[in-house]
Amino acid sequence: MVVDLEELVVCESYSADLAAVARSAEVVAAQGARLLGAEPERLVIDGVTHLRWVFGTPRALLLGHHDTVWPMGSLATHPWSVREGIARGPGIFDMKAGLVQMFHALASLPSLEGVCVLVTGDEEVGSDTSLALIEKAARQCVATFVLEASGDGGALKTARKGTSAYELVVHGKAAHSGLEPDKGINAAVGAAHLILALEGLAEEVNAGASAQWRTTVVPTVVAAGSASNTVPAEATVSVDVRVPTLQAQERVDAAVRALEVPVPGARLEVRGGPNRPPLEEASSAELFARARAIARRQGLGTLLSAAVGGASDGNFTAGLGCPTLDGLGAVGAGAHADHEHVVVAEMVPRARLLAALVEEVVR
């Protein structure tokens, strides 16, 4: 497994470099073909390469991605290494170790009948080209297992917040800020009012919510104006929204679209909206109970669960009503960070856990 992991990690696969993603897909395809005994379908959509294996009539979907956030050349500063049981390298935790564990888990089964494997190439940049593939596969299956990295302490991810992304554009009118500012309509002032309104919006949605699992509405990138002596004719506010429930996502969306700019003559344009539904605990509860029982039988102790703010492609499958369990991949830490790493000793136990889960669901 470590040899296979090195093979994936040293083939860099930065999401924005489609040629690199294509090269990575070939390495993943060869590894999967060797372990699963079948070549995948290579699905290239808008230049992004995805891989799919289907065995018989699918019941269990195994979902992962081979693209990473690490720019090309990151191996020079974050080289592959294994020291004292810790493996390091760009993308190793998120989520190349998960792919290796998945292939070896499936290779251990007596039959792959009823299994669908989908490895996408654009998860880190929003899954725009793979979404239709994910949804089609999930609609055919009774369960989805996501090979994203585990939570703290190896916890499986039983809930993920949904995400929405907005760009609020305030249209005003330019004028000389010294000679005739009164003839302008200041879009920057309008944007400032919106930022304050967004703060209140989050508080309203969170009324009664637990401190650990709250909706967040965060203005991130703000831009306005074209020159220091000109009333800004346009201003933009990017907004990142994370929600624990579909109801909260719908409430925020309605509230954002109802925002008004209290600057006479200014006009607000709302772009964007919900892009990933939440993975709610109800979607994962039964599968997590199965996983816990299997872990006890295998001597792995009591599995932990975690609810996390980050989203994955498992949000899409859960949003379609397909029971989904996430975080079945690597045990380690540091996704997207300098200390990204994987605990090698956990790879085999996690593969065995996944194999038993898949076998139960397919049977």
257-315 confidence digits (pLDDT tens): 999 999 999 999 999 999 999 999 999 999 999 999 999 999 999 999 999 988 999 99
Angstrom distance (rounded) from CA 176 to CA 174: 7
Provide, rounded to the nearest whole percent, the portion of the chain with pLDDT above 90.
94
pLDDT tens column, 51-76? 999 999 999 999 999 999 999 999 99
Phi-psi region of 295 (alpha: psi -120 to 50; beta: other; left: phi over 0): alpha
Instruction: Tell me, letter by letter, the H, E, C secondary structure of 74-122.
Output: HHHHCCCEEECCEEECCCHHHHHHHHHHHHHHHHCCCCCCCEEEEEECC
> In terms of C-beta density within 10 A (0-12 exposed, 13-18 middle, 19 or more buried), how is residue 142 classed?
middle
Confidence of residue 162 (pLDDT cuts 50, 70, 90): very high
Q: What's the longest Cα–Cα distance across the chain?
A: 81
Confidence of residue 202 (pLDDT cuts 50, 70, 90): confident
Closest CA to 40 of 133, 129, 125: 133
Amino acid 184: pLDDT:
97
Amino acid 212: pLDDT:
64
Angstrom distance (rounded) from CA 147 to CA 145: 6
Q: What pTM was computed for the model?
A: 0.89
pLDDT tens column, 3-56? 999 999 999 999 999 999 999 999 999 999 999 999 999 999 999 999 999 999
Amino acid 211: pLDDT:
63
The yes-or-no verdict on residue 207 having pLDDT over 80 is no
∠ at Cα 26 (25, 32), nearest 5°? Answer: 85
Ordered structural domains, the chain, with CATH? 2-160+278-362 (3.40.630.10), 162-275 (3.30.70.360)
Closest CA to 144 of 129, 160, 128: 160
Confidence of residue 130 (pLDDT cuts 50, 70, 90): very high
Confidence of residue 205 (pLDDT cuts 50, 70, 90): confident
Amino acid 210: pLDDT:
67
